[in-house]
Amino acid sequence: MQKYTNIIWDWNGTLLDDVAWCITRINIMLKKRSLPTLDTVEAYHNVFGFPIKDYYRIVGFDFEKEPFELLAVEYIELYHNGNECVSMFSDAREILRKLQTDGVHQIVLSASELGNLICQMKPFGIAEFFDETLGISDIYAASKVDLGKAYIQRAQPERAVLIGDTTHDKEVADALGVDCVLIANGHQSKNALISCGAVVLDCLADLPRILNV
% of the chain residues with pLDDT over 90: 85
For residue range 9-68, what is the model confidence (pLDDT) as tens digits?
999 999 999 999 999 999 999 999 999 999 999 999 999 998 899 999 999 999 999 999
Q: Is 46 exposed, middle or buried (0-12, 13-18, 19+ CB in 10 A)?
A: middle
d(CA 108, CA 140): 18
pTM for the complete prediction?
A: 0.93
Evaluate whether the domain defined by 6-17+88-211 bears CATH number 3.40.50.1000.
yes
DSSP helix/strand/coil, 77:
helix
d(CA 33, CA 121): 32
pLDDT at 212: 73
Q: Is 103 exposed, middle or buried (0-12, 13-18, 19+ CB in 10 A)?
A: exposed
Q: Is 153 exposed, middle or buried (0-12, 13-18, 19+ CB in 10 A)?
A: exposed
For residue range 181-198, what is the model confidence (pLDDT) as tens digits?
999 999 999 999 999 999
pLDDT at 143: 66
d(CA 31, CA 33): 5
Q: Give the count of beta carbons closer than 10 Å to the beta carbon of residue 197.
A: 12
pLDDT at 84: 79
Q: Are 72 and 66 in contact (CB under 8 A)?
A: no
d(CA 66, CA 201): 38
Residue 1 has pLDDT above 70, yes or no: no
d(CA 59, CA 177): 32
Start-to-end CA span in the chain (Å): 11
Mean pLDDT of all residues in 197-210: 92
d(CA 59, CA 61): 6
